[in-house]
């Protein structure tokens, strides 16, 4: 068997078809009873330079459009070329790519990549939003497989969404505020189905780690020496929770702009309706920065609005004005509010077809409903209290207009300090960083923004050095535009928190 494996690996390096079935058969046996629909293939290159690494959108038969969109997901938060994760042009990165589902749910999916030159470590990726297991292919997988890490990612147990008709679907959520052109489109997110919950995200992340460890044992005859977590947005929230709830399974993690949930607040059920209530008055004021609506948004913790340079028709959510807030209002604020209200407060009657706008997303009042409808226990099941037990590095951009840093990154840092866990945590604010990397580029031209990705990649290496060599990362700091994480932020004039959310 070992001779066959050696021959197979030589053939892979040469770019020839390899009899890798022997390895795949061992993995399939190891996953029997644990996973279903297991597909294992030899890959000449596990990076996205290989078009077969990330499957086409809507390529799983029997699903409605948009339920499974791996290529859209992979580019959703990644910078566009040429700012994506660099891939070494002089090397290939062969190995096995394995996909499958958990036995209890055909839609609880995962992808696993096993490099030929394995460094003995595993990275568990957790995607943002409600996106697929392939969402991290550009930002996470392309980084770590080149370094020799095995990589596994889960879709957190559920598919994404499909477009629906509100009269026929009680779980329908309007995509954008009713004043937008896209306000006539309604979506159905699978997280709002009774079988799917946010709590499932944690379970499926553990199961993905289980699948990976069983496969590693079968393929390499040994377990990983270290297991790291990388998560973004909703995935960052999962990383925080896993390092608190299941610390024996993981050695550390990077949390890239994770969502902060606290039953008493802050949380997005408080913040997003405030943004929606002020959005239309802000537009009616002619986008006045002196108007009451603009000032109310700043008071609620949101970064100031910025405008594209120049506006571009490529930004379908704000093609004429090119407003950063409008792009978020029409693409995220409304639908995200609806999705999480339906998931966490299912008794709330939300009538998005009411012509008077009553009982709509902007009218939702979490603080009024919290006590009457006992929402605190529901949010307590997913909250992030800061009581981490393994090293964690958190990054967030100051211009994040979906998860304002004053309501997410900073409160989580405060919670970590209050829990007495500051020694296990580093917190890096990225001046002018945003939730969506590509908004800086051709789709939207918000050139005032900065990429978070290079700092997240640096944070991963700092985490590894922290865990494996005891080299403590630089203290928490604000990373200025065009700057880097520095060893002595005090000397460099980089305090923990940026003085202003927007630096021109």
Q: Is the pLDDT of residue 290 over 50?
A: yes
Q: Give 260's contacts (C-beta < 8 A, 6+ positions apart).
A: 237, 266, 267, 384, 403, 407, 408, 409, 411, 412, 415
Burial class for 443, CB neighbours closer than 10 Å (0-12, 13-18, 19+): middle
Residue 107 DSSP label = E
Q: What are the tens digits of pLDDT across the range 231-260? A: 999 999 999 999 999 999 999 999 999 999
CA 17 – CA 13 distance, rounded (Å): 10
Q: What is the helix (H) or strand (E) element at residue 349, kind and residue range?
A: none
Residue closest to 204 by CA, chosen among 155, 161, 151: 155
- Say what the pTM is: 0.94
Confidence of residue 357 (pLDDT cuts 50, 70, 90): low
Q: Is the pLDDT of residue 7 over 70?
A: no
Residue 356: strand, helix, or coil: coil
Residue 355: what pLDDT?
66
Burial class for 77, CB neighbours closer than 10 Å (0-12, 13-18, 19+): buried
CA 361 – CA 173 distance, rounded (Å): 9
Residue closest to 232 by CA, chosen among 119, 150, 126, 133: 126
CA 324 – CA 74 distance, rounded (Å): 22
CA 67 to centroid of chain Cα atoms: 17
Residue 354: what pLDDT?
72
């Amino acid at each position: 068997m070992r001779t066959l494996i050696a021959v197979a690996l030589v053939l892979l390096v040469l770019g020839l078809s390899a009899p890798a079935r022997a390895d795949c058969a061992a993995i399939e046996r190891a996953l029997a009873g644990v996973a279903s629909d297991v597909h294992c293939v030899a890959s000449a290159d596990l990076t996205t330079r290989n078009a077969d690494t990330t499957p086409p959108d809507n390529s799983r038969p029997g699903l409605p459009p948009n339920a499974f969109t791996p290529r859209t997901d992979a580019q959703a938060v990644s910078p566009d070329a040429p700012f994506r994760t660099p891939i070494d042009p002089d090397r290939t990165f062969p190995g096995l790519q394995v996909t499958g589902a958990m036995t209890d749910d055909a839609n609880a999916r995962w992808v696993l990549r096993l490099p030929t030159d394995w460094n003995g470590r595993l990275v568990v990726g957790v995607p943002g939003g409600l996106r697929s297991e392939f969402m991290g292919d550009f930002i996470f997988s392309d980084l770590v497989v080149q370094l020799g890490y095995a990589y596994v990612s889960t879709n957190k147990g559920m598919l994404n969404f499909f477009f629906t008709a509100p009269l026929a679907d009680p779980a329908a959520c309007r995509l954008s505020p009713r004043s937008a052109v896209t306000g006539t489109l309604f979506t159905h997110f699978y997280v709002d189905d009774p079988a799917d919950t946010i709590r499932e995200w944690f379970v499926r992340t553990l199961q993905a780690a289980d699948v990976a460890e069983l496969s590693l044992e079968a393929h390499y005859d040994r377990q990983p020496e270290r297991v790291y977590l990388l998560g973004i947005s909703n995935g960052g929230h999962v990383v925080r929770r896993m390092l608190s709830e299941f610390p024996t399974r993981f050695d550390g993690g990077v949390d890239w702009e994770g969502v902060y949930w606290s039953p008493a607040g802050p949380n997005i059920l408080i913040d997003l309706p405030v943004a929606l209530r002020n959005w239309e008055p802000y537009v009616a004021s002619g986008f006045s920065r002196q108007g009451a609506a603009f000032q109310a948004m700043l008071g609620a913790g949101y970064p100031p609005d910025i405008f594209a340079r120049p506006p571009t028709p490529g930004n379908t959510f704000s093609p004429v004005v090119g407003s950063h807030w409008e792009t978020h209002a029409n693409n995220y604020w409304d639908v995200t509010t609806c999705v999480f209200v339906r998931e966490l407060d299912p008794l709330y009657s939300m009538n998005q077809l009411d012509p008077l706008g009553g009982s709509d997303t902007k009218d939702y009042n979490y603080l009024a409903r919290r006590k009457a409808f006992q929402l605190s226990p529901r949010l307590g099941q997913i909250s992030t209290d800061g009581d981490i037990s393994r090293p964690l590095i958190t990054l967030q951009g100051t211009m994040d207009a979906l998860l304002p840093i004053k309501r997410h990154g900073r409160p989580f840092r405060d919670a970590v300090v209050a829990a007495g866990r500051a020694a296990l945590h580093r917190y890096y604010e990225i001046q002018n960083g945003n939730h969506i990397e590509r908004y800086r580029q051709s789709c939207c031209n918000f050139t005032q923004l900065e990429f978070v990705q290079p700092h997240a990649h640096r944070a991963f290496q700092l985490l590894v050095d922290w865990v494996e060599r005891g080299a403590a990362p630089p203290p928490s700091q604000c990373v200025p535009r065009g700057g880097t994480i520095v060893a002595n932020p005090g000397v460099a004039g980089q305090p923990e928190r940026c003085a202003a959310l927007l630096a021109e």
